[in-house]
Amino acid sequence: QVQLQESGGGSVQAGGSLRLSCQASGYTDMPYCMGWFRQAPGKEREEVAGIDIDAGGKISYADSVKGRFTISQEDAKNTLTLYLQMNGLKPEDTAMYYCAAITPGPGYCSGGFPVGGSWGQGTQVTVSS
């Protein structure tokens, strides 16, 4: 099963930018889909951005981040990395951000987003006003 490690979180002021990375390792087959999720204290986890690799790289965004966030994927030298470029950050973007992927095994893709599957430990993003 694929292992995922996020990085790139931090503290920024409103209007600032961050770029999150999620490095995948231990996989033998390309994931069917990968995505970014976030969870703020006291709130449910929500989808942020997803890429349906099996469907030719179709990308989906939550309405709250459209036009500000960009998901991308790089597959180089047998290393797969998922990115989330976040611009125009707002205080309401403050959350723990998680990367997830679906490879052969448990889990499935729904609307281009992983359901179940493999998850990273998360990286904290804090946006101050």
| 17-66 pLDDT per residue, tens | 999 999 999 988 889 999 999 999 999 999 999 999 988 999 999 999 99
Question: What's the pLDDT at 14?
Answer: 98
CB-CB contact of 53 with 34 (8 Å): yes
CA distance 128 to 109: 33
- Binned at pLDDT 50, 70 and 90, residue 9 comes out as very high
Element housing 37 (H / E): strand 33-39
Question: What's the pLDDT at 12?
Answer: 98
Q: Assess whether pLDDT exceeds 80 at residue 81.
A: yes
CB-CB contact of 24 with 119 (8 Å): no
Instruction: Give the list of residues 6+ apart from residue 42 with CB closer than 8 angstroms, or none.
Output: none
Question: What does pLDDT average to over the chain?
Answer: 95
Structure-model confidence comparison of residues 29 and 81, the more confident one: 81
Question: What's the pLDDT at 127?
Answer: 98
- Binned at pLDDT 50, 70 and 90, residue 78 comes out as confident
